[in-house]
Amino acid sequence: MGQLQGRRWSGRSDDEMTETTTSLSQPAAVSSRLTVASVVFLMGAAVVFVTGFAHPQALHDAAHDARHALSFPCH
């Protein structure tokens, strides 16, 4: 075994201490934020329209009751 000298071990190379550095990633580009926002908006709109115009009455009624529970006007 090597001897401790400051911050490094003397001796074999596998006994030496190493340091790692990390860098902060760049903020997301505006185009990627707009893409995510567009996808989320389209998915939300799809959920609203699918449940609003659903033929199975149970699906429509469940969405209708949820809107009333959240004080969202629907009539």
pLDDT in the model for residue 42: 96
pLDDT in the model for residue 41: 96
User: Binning pLDDT at 50, 70 and 90, where does residue 66 land?
Assistant: confident
- What 3-state class would DSSP assign to 48? helix
Q: Where exactly are the structural domains of the chain?
A: 44-75
Tell me what the mean pLDDT of segment 39-47 comes to: 93
User: Binning pLDDT at 50, 70 and 90, where does residue 36 land?
Assistant: very high
Burial of 55: CB neighbours in 10 Å, binned 0-12, 13-18, 19+: exposed
Mean of the per-residue pLDDT values of the chain: 73
Check pLDDT > 70 for residue 8: no
Closest to 18 measured CA to CA, from 31, 5, 9, 27: 9
